[in-house]
Structure 1
Amino acid sequence: MGAKQMEQEAPALVLPYVEKMEKKLSFASKRFKKICVFCGSSSGKKGVFSDEALNLGRELVDRKIDLVYGGGSIGLMGQVAHTVKSGGGHVVGVIPKALIGPELTGSTVGDLIAVSDMHQRKAEMARQSDAFIALPGGYGTLEELVEVITWNQLGIHKKPVGLLNVDGFYDTLLTFFDKQMEEEFFDNSARSIVVSAPTASELLDKLEAYAATPAYAGPKLCWEMERPCAIGYTTTPIAGLGQ
């Protein structure tokens, strides 16, 4: 190929790549600065769980969304946290003091906020975040997920809640939510609090588009005394902890 021919063909090859990169670099989340991710401290049985945890981390980096998570560096939580941190995103781990230690959770990735107990942990994670995502996980993941859904229903917050339904992991839970609505334990407005998708990219798109339904007309409840307009407890980050 001669120099002249290369000069003529180069723009056709380079331009799509440049346009793709410019689009990627300019795509910052319009709604979210920080998202809280609930997930297992185990990686689970299937490799697809780890794959999608890594994809979620990359999507957060691409959309310039920082991560709030439960601290530690093992399992799916560690995979998401390391991916965001290595991609240049800010990571905040919130963990009860009793769980700090490599034998339980590994090393915290990013900044660390140490709290007294699990109740404060959930409140602080919620206060720090603009939305919530649950990856596959165990009892702890499920408990954290259902609590933030309930807080939304009660008007404590109006932040969207997403299920990353990897390989149908949450199919039975979503069916159970439908059964609860069918039996009139809540209505469609409460059921619509939760959005789900099989991939990180699709779920984040849905969360960006989510519009809160005025499902609850009661008081805007709050657990705090010192900061009545926000969720959480008064906490102090511990300088020097976290990596």
Structure 2
Amino acid sequence: MEFSLSNDVVVAAVAVAAAYVVYSYLSTPATPTHAPVSKAPSKEKPTGEPEVPQQRYFTLDELREFNGEGDKPIYIAIKGVVYDVSRRRDFYGPGEGYHLFAGREAARALAKMSFEPADLDNTDISDLNFMEKEILKDWVDKFTDYNSYPIVGRVLQQKDLTLDELSAYTVLPVYVALRGVIYDVTLGGLEHYGPNGGYKMFAGRDATRALALMSFDQENLDHPTEEGLTETQIKTLADWEAKFQSKYRVVGKVVASS
């Protein structure tokens, strides 16, 4: 009697196998594809309280400078957060197994466990599958909780956005536009513009008219024009603009929808 597997059985078998792979990845230290054999990082007991530098923004080009070469610090970013991993120079330093992650936004490469340039040079993680998302979460836990690497800043993703696209940036990172210029207000402004801040309604919006009028009226957020502003209101707006320029980094400009 000939025996044949139904599609349901095959699908179930594949699902079980995939679940086992996920478990295997999450229950053992992850090792990138084709990476040289290297000892896994362990949780260190700090010998003293190192001075934590003030957090700052890094463009991707600026971040590349912090790769450990020439005794420079070693920074690695995951999902926009920049960590100082310098104390694991034996792991991420020049010539070591994970050095290719140094000075990069490495979220995609870590999630895929890949040393391929196509993943190292790509910051997009929107297409990660379930397993890759779980692996990335495991790496974030290792960096933040297990090893407690100091956070030294955030990656500044420079790009122009439409108002619709801007509306997505209300949590991390948090963007606010003023006079058509988009600012990343995450560092130094999260307590004001973040989900629990008093100005949270400005997050992901062009707040030009609202700030000029010192108004939380939805109508002013929906129509951020300077038309009809008085001289005093324009002065108020200019003061806000100067504050933003001195405190926050520019992401890009608000552009018209195509």
TM-score (norm 1): 0.27
Which protein shows a greater Rg? 2
TM-score, L = length of structure 2: 0.26
**Relative contact order (C-alpha < 8 Å, sep 6+): which is higher?**
1
